[in-house]
Copies of this chain bind each other. A is one copy, B any other.
Amino acid sequence: MLNFDFVNPTHIVFGKDRIADIAKLVPEQAKVLILVGGASAEKTGTLAEVRTALGARQHATFSGIEPNPSFETSMKAVLQVREEGFDFLLAVGGGSVIDAAKFIAAAVPFEGDTWEILLKGGRNVKSALPFGTVLTLPATGSEMNSGSVITRRDIGAKLPFGNPRLYPKFSVLDPTKTYTLPTQQIANGVVDAFVHTVEQYLTYPVNAPVQDRFAEGLLQTLVEVGPRLLAASEPNYDDRATLMWSATLALNGLIGAGVPQDWSTHMIGHELTALHNIDHARTLAIVLPAMLNERRVQKREKLLQYGERVWSIRTGTDDERITAAIEQTRAFFEAMGIPTRLSEYGLGADAVDTVVRQLEAHGMVKLSEHRDVTPEVSRRVLEAAL
């Protein structure tokens, strides 16, 4: 096991009818800016519940945070907060709204050009506004971590940042708030949580059996619950709750503590989203199977363990078992209704060049747990994913 630090102070408030708890969670004197995406939080009544819980506290609503939240939109909120003196943010939505909240929280007190926060990966964040979240879309895990990804539209760049000051004070996770989501969003959530887990698990062994078992437990659970979520004619509370808690646990720092981490699939996926506006989870479903195949030597032992424990693959040569594990992974994504080939998104060989150039431009030239996924390796992965 590797040395590690683990700390996660976010208060999770999980279950039915928990939005009312916001009344106790937000400081009484706070002046609150509610952040939302489109119109759905208003339409579903979630926003009304939130406003009721805020009671007599001063509050306003900033709407229009887009999927893959932009620097440009977030900066409008930053200016509003600075001008009107809000001192608490409340993100109501999915990972995009929460990621934007983290950027806004960091940018409001930031001195200088706020784009520098992204360029420095958040290391230059010295203080941040406090914020809470009400999660309506289980997927990214942003509700219980201190990381975020922001896209700058004018230059087509999607960059991650993080800082220990950016944990939500609290996150309300009410599974019934996912009932109105389109099926595609649920499928995206399953795949996103799955790949988050894989990025922290499918590396090389360091004798960390608990981390392995926890990661495998999440993967097994997502494999069990994913198809059931898609097939259900009516939302099932327990399955929604399981997806919600799994997605949170997949990226709250726990399963990655003390083990190597990869994240190369994510970095390549971010470029695909920035350039071609493909849903985050879908870019992961495109890149991961090709990446695992490309890295079958470096990931050999963990691929065999993954095949056995998650997919019950116990026969065949090592190579056959690895191939079967990768194909099961691809089949799982496709069964969730998510195509795994670039061509199915209308992209051809010319797209590969652009993505590789963007990876180079953003310094993503030594990816993976071994720091040996160079642009040349990324190119091979993308070509295999055509």
Interface size class of A (residues with CB under 8 A): 35 or more
Q: Shortest CB–CB separation between residue A244 and chain B, in angstroms?
A: 9
**A9 touches which one: B2, B7, B221, B224 (CB < 8 A)?**
B7
List the B residue with the shortest CB-CB distance to A250. Answer: B210
**Nearest chain-B residue to A175 (Cβ)?**
B1
| A221-B209 in contact (CB<8A) | yes
> Given contacts A3-B15, A12-B7, are A225 and B209 in contact (CB under 8 A)?
yes
- Given the complex, which residues of B lie within 8 Å of A257, measured CB to CB? 12, 14
Residues of B within 8 A of A216 (CB): 213, 217
Q: B242 to A208, Cβ gap below 8 A?
A: yes
Q: Which listed residue, B12, B15, B220, touches A213 by the CB 8 Å rule? A: B220
Contact partner, A14, options B3, B213, B218, B239, Cβ 8 Å: B3
B3 and A11 contacting across the interface, CB-CB below 8 Å = no
Docked complex Cα distance between A272 and B1 (Å)? 37
Q: Are B14 and A258 in contact (CB under 8 A)?
A: yes
Q: Are A9 and B9 in contact (CB under 8 A)?
A: yes
> Are A218 and B210 in contact, with the CB atoms below 8 A?
yes
Bound form: Cα–Cα A257–B144 in Å: 15
In whole angstroms, how far apart are the Cα atoms of A18 and B238 in the complex? Answer: 41
A241 to chain B, nearest CB (A): 4
Counted per complex, copies of this chain come to 2
Interface residues of A in 14-40 (CB under 8 A from B): 14-16, 18
* A238/B207 in contact, CB under 8 A: yes
A263 CB-CB contact with B under 8 Å = no
Q: Is A245 an interface residue (CB 8 A)?
A: yes
Residue with the greatest number of chain B CB neighbours at <10 A, chosen from A2, A206, A207, A257 = A207
A18-B6 contact given A210-B217, A249-B210, CB 8 Å threshold: no
28 A-B residue pairs with Cβ-Cβ distance under 8 Å, sorted by A, are: A1-B14, A1-B15, A1-B241, A2-B15, A4-B14, A5-B13, A6-B14, A7-B9, A7-B12, A9-B9, A12-B257, A15-B258, A207-B238, A207-B242, A208-B238, A209-B220, A209-B221, A209-B242, A210-B221, A210-B245, A213-B213, A213-B218, A213-B220, A213-B221, A214-B214, A216-B217, A241-B258, A245-B258
* Contacts A2-B15, A208-B241, A213-B213 known; 9 new A-B pairs at CB < 8 A: A1-B242, A3-B14, A3-B15, A3-B18, A6-B12, A207-B242, A210-B218, A210-B242, A210-B245
